[in-house]
């Protein structure tokens, strides 16, 4: 028997085992997947928890439900990969061997990496919404908030779903209006980027949406520490931003075992070939989803499109044939903008988010970089698609490669790549 071992039963790992169990002969292949717990969290749903849109029960399911027959799910924390010996050790001492390894352990917010973030204000004035505990605590804090300076902050890039903090900012602005206290709140959006987003056209569009909502943008801000006594963010270039309520996205890092195993870069991301996701160091290890270092947004959509390419490639690879599929970095995300509206962005390694229609030219039904209600409904419908189509690895009628159909290519742009 050949052994395929998948580390992490989140978005990417679950899709991988569902796709490959159908493709790899059961009499020849044993497939095992490991995760540290049985709770599969639908992370895009975290955005709505602070506003009471979802309760924790609405976005957590048992992982077992999504692991197909013929795949062993092992619950335990990964301690180390011995890549030269083809084995993985868990913190409880169990050891699992493999012939092929897929690393899909994602990234996590790490507030411990910024001095002062986990100080006395953590959980009273400083919150995150990238974890279920954080998003639920923030819901209570927002409920009790009745005015002052609300700062939304990104520690450093890359983060998973880089539009999520912008979406949170648009939603909180609408939420404060709905409570009739918008005039007593100053909202500031603080980012390490030179503008509202990572690419010029989307950055201009999203930046003007901040302006329209009278939200201040503080760009190029790299936080050095948080001063709990003064209630300020302090940057390396000695700027200070005071806050009454701080909603921060801490540094996003890959799992610590990746570093302990000598498989990661300085943020514990696994270096891979960006088209095949094969490790640069070992030819029987792939890294898929947020866990790798490919130069595109960390997003569930990227995990999905790349798994489609990976599954075909993997079958060729283990048959000793060249991998013919080439992942193009395809990403797309709905961007909530408040008041029941949203935008959609669709892009890849070479093409930045453009305006137009998706997936069909003229027809859409979704608008690219344009606010409308359909995009908002698309975002809400995505939860159903996630549980029922994406995770089980069912076919979705969307091409895994980005298409230019429906997109408006600007004649010329003098905006600089950010």
Ligand X SMILES: Cc1cc2nc3c(=O)[nH]c(=O)nc-3n(C[C@H](O)[C@H](O)[C@H](O)COP(=O)(O)OP(=O)(O)OC[C@H]3O[C@@H](n4cnc5c(N)ncnc54)[C@H](O)[C@@H]3O)c2cc1C
Closest approach of Cβ 413 to ligand X, in Å?
26
Of 273, 256, 310, 257, which Cα lies nearest the Cα of 102? Answer: 310
Q: Considering the rule CB under 6 A, would residue 106 count as an interface residue with ligand X?
A: yes
Radius of gyration of the chain from Cα atoms? 21
Q: Considering the rule CB under 6 A, would residue 190 count as an interface residue with ligand X?
A: no
Whole-angstrom distance, CA of residue 161 vs CA of residue 130: 10
Whole-angstrom distance, CA of residue 130 vs CA of residue 250: 9
Interface region with ligand X, contact rule CB under 6 A, candidates 204-212, 285-293, 386-394, 399-407: 285-293
Select from 164, 166, 226, 296 the one that contacts ligand X (CB under 6 A): 164
Residues paired with 344 in a beta bridge: 334, 368
Q: Considering the rule CB under 6 A, would residue 353 count as an interface residue with ligand X?
A: no
Q: Considering the rule CB under 6 A, would residue 330 count as an interface residue with ligand X?
A: no
Nearer to ligand X, 167 or 173 (CB): 167
Select from 5, 31, 78, 247 the one that contacts ligand X (CB under 6 A): 78
Select from 6, 20, 33, 47 the one that contacts ligand X (CB under 6 A): 47
Nearer to ligand X, 234 or 270 (CB): 270
What the block records as the tokens of 239 is 């700027």
Q: Considering the rule CB under 6 A, would residue 328 count as an interface residue with ligand X?
A: no
Nearer to ligand X, 47 or 241 (CB): 47
Whole-angstrom distance, CA of residue 201 vs CA of residue 182: 29
List phi, psi (to 5°) of 148: 125, -155
Of 229, 107, 200, which Cα lies nearest the Cα of 156? Answer: 107
Closest approach of Cβ 182 to ligand X, in Å?
23
Q: Considering the rule CB under 6 A, would residue 46 count as an interface residue with ligand X?
A: yes
Q: Where are the alpha helices (DSSP H) in 261-362?
A: 300-318
Nearer to ligand X, 96 or 318 (CB): 96
Interface region with ligand X, contact rule CB under 6 A, candidates 33-41, 64-72, 196-204, 353-361: 33-41
Select from 89, 160, 341, 376 the one that contacts ligand X (CB under 6 A): 160
Select from 4, 5, 6, 8 the one that contacts ligand X (CB under 6 A): 8
List phi, psi (to 5°) of 350: -105, -20
| 92 close to 269: Cβ distance less than 8 angstroms | no
Interface region with ligand X, contact rule CB under 6 A, candidates 216-224, 300-308, 311-319, 348-356: 300-308
- Side-chain-side CA neighbours of 105 within 13 Å: the count stands at 26
Q: Considering the rule CB under 6 A, would residue 300 count as an interface residue with ligand X?
A: yes
Other Cβ atoms closer than 10 A to 256: 16
Q: Considering the rule CB under 6 A, would residue 264 count as an interface residue with ligand X?
A: no
Contact letters (x/-) for ligand X, 199-238, by CB under 6 A? ----------------------------------------
Q: Considering the rule CB under 6 A, would residue 139 count as an interface residue with ligand X?
A: no
DSSP 8-class letter at 88: E
| 233 close to 190: Cβ distance less than 8 angstroms | yes
Select from 6, 88, 104, 402 the one that contacts ligand X (CB under 6 A): 104
Whole-angstrom distance, CA of residue 342 vs CA of residue 176: 18
| 378 close to 364: Cβ distance less than 8 angstroms | no
Q: Considering the rule CB under 6 A, would residue 342 count as an interface residue with ligand X?
A: no
Q: Considering the rule CB under 6 A, would residue 35 count as an interface residue with ligand X?
A: yes
Q: Considering the rule CB under 6 A, would residue 346 count as an interface residue with ligand X?
A: no
Contacts of 405 (CB under 8 A, 6+ apart): 359, 360, 361
Whole-angstrom distance, CA of residue 383 vs CA of residue 385: 5
Binding site for ligand X (CB under 6 A): 8-13, 34-36, 43-44, 46-47, 77-78, 104-106, 129-130, 160-161, 164, 255, 257, 289-291, 298-301, 303, 333-334
């Amino acid at each position: 028997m050949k052994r395929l071992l998948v580390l992490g039963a989140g978005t990417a790992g679950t899709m991988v085992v569902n796709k490959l169990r159908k493709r790899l002969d059961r009499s020849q292949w044993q497939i095992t997947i490991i995760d540290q717990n049985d709770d599969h969290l639908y992370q895009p749903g975290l955005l709505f928890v602070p506003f009471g849109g979802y309760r924790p029960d609405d976005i957590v399911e048992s992982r077992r439900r999504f692991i197909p027959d013929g795949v062993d799910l092992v619950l335990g924390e990964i301690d180390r990969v011995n890549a030269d010996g083809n084995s993985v050790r868990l913190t409880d001492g169990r050891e699992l061997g493999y012939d092929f390894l897929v690393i899909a352990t994602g990234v996590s917010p790490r507030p411990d990496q910024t001095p002062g973030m986990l100080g006395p204000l953590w959980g009273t004035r400083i919150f995150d919404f990238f974890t279920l505990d954080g998003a639920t605590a923030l819901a209570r804090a927002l409920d009790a908030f009745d005015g002052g300076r609300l700062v939304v902050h990104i520690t450093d890039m890359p983060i998973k779903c880089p539009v999520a903090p912008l979406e949170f900012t648009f939603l909180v602005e609408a939420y404060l209006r709905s409570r009739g206290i918008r005039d007593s709140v100053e909202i500031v959006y603080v980012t390490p980027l030179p503008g509202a987003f990572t690419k010029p056209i989307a950055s201009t569009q999203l930046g003007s949406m901040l302006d329209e909502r009278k939200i201040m943008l503080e760009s190029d801000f790299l936080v050095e520490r948080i001063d709990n006594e003064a209630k300020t963010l302090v940057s390396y270039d000695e700027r200070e931003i005071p806050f009454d309520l701080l909603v921060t996205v801490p540094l996003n890092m890959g799992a610590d075992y990746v570093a302990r195993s000598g498989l990661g870069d300085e943020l514990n991301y696994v270096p891979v070939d960006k088209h095949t996701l094969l490790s640069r160091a070992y030819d029987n290890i792939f890294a898929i989803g947020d866990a790798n270092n490919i130069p595109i947004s960390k997003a569930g959509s990227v995990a999905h499109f790349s798994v489609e390419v990976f599954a075909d490639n993997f079958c060729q690879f283990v048959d000793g044939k060249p991998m013919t599929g080439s992942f193009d970095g395809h990403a797309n995300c709905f961007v909530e903008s408040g008041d029941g509206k949203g935008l959609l962005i669709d892009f890849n390694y070479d093409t930045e988010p453009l305006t137009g229609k998706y997936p069909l030219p003229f027809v859409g039904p979704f608008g690219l970089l344009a606010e409308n209600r359909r995009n908002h409904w698309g975002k809400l419908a995505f939860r159903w698609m996630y549980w029922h189509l994406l995770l089980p690895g069912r076919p979705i009628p969307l091409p895994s490669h980005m298409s230019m159909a429906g997109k408006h290519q600007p004649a010329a742009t003098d905006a600089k790549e950010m």
